[in-house]
Structure 1
């Protein structure tokens, strides 16, 4: 069981950019199922948007910075925040918001596996939170050296145990 859901960087410019994320439709459906389960349990939902500097394609307010339109986030009740680093904690008040909501365990899902998912999982544990990583709830793009599927499998294996409890999204409850 987890107390909250954290969705990272499911933004138009990343989800629907020139390089498409691995299994993006399946991952989106998985994240939307997690949102529905969290809502049903009245668990808070936190949503991070990576924000680039002024003039960048993902500067605050730009079309590519917006959350993907099929992500079932409710801006009137979910906690949206901006970040400028791979960690959802650095330079944000996420830690304070989680503690104020008495959250001890977080489900972390979204993009990109080797950057913001990995970093946020590690930092969350350092800050004393337990983390559940849905092995089918995060994604990234191919790189020149590795296919996205290999990156995802590697991070699922590397993070499991020491940093996260790895589970299939269907097994996760709030």
Structure 2
């Protein structure tokens, strides 16, 4: 991502895509997770984007399964209070992991001339990875923030238990250099406000 000075116009700035930070992600049944400070970092980034008038996109998952915590009518589908969209921020709903599938997200970005995306949220190997893969394949300059995403422990294909840290690390490895640039929040903010050489 090329450096964008603090005085960057809204048109030049990257869009912040906040994926699935809904109340259902707090359910204990989802199991152990990593990056316990991820929401705090996302909230700080959101505040930063809002202060600069940069584009913010909120992604919300609506499950097709009636037993899901993300089924329509469940409290789990609601945004967490810290990430409640403002009137001037865009919201897209999805029924599959990839936020670009069956939505007008790509068109919304293209119409506004947005070429750079910063992706944060949950889950690292699911909606974050899927959306970042599509973003990269569609030609967007995509950054995924390692410390502003999280996931949960799960078993691998062979049935071996994997910690949330392991699942997250593999998701970031899958994306790095192939579909996106993986940074931490400090690296991103330094990059955005670096003086051109």
Relative to the length of structure 2, the TM-score reads 0.80
Q: 2:124, 2:168 within 8 Å by CA — same for their partners in 1?
A: yes
What's the secondary structure of 2:168's corresponding residue? Answer: helix
What's the secondary structure of 2:167's corresponding residue? Answer: helix
Supply the distance in 1 between the matched residues of 2:29 and 2:101 (Cα, whole angstroms): 28
Structure 1 residue corresponding to 2:135, chosen from 121, 124, 132: 124
What's the secondary structure of 2:88's corresponding residue? Answer: coil
**Residue number in structure 1 paired with 2:172:** 156
The answer to whether the aligner puts 1:166 opposite 2:178 as a matched pair is no
**Residue number in structure 2 paired with 1:6:** 17
**Residue number in structure 2 paired with 1:146:** 162
For residue 37 of structure 1, report the CA deviation from its aligned partner: 1.8
Supply the distance in 1 between the matched residues of 2:119 and 2:94 (Cα, whole angstroms): 15
Count of residue pairs the alignment pairs up: 173
Matches within 5 A, 1:4-153: 4-20=15-31, 22-23=33-34, 25-53=36-64, 55-56=66-67, 57-71=69-83, 73-144=84-155, 145-153=161-169
Q: Compute the RMSD of aligned alpha carbons.
A: 1.9
For residue 88 of structure 1, report the CA deviation from its aligned partner: 0.3
Supply the distance in 2 between the matched residues of 1:17 and 1:69 (Cα, whole angstroms): 18
Relative to the length of structure 1, the TM-score reads 0.90
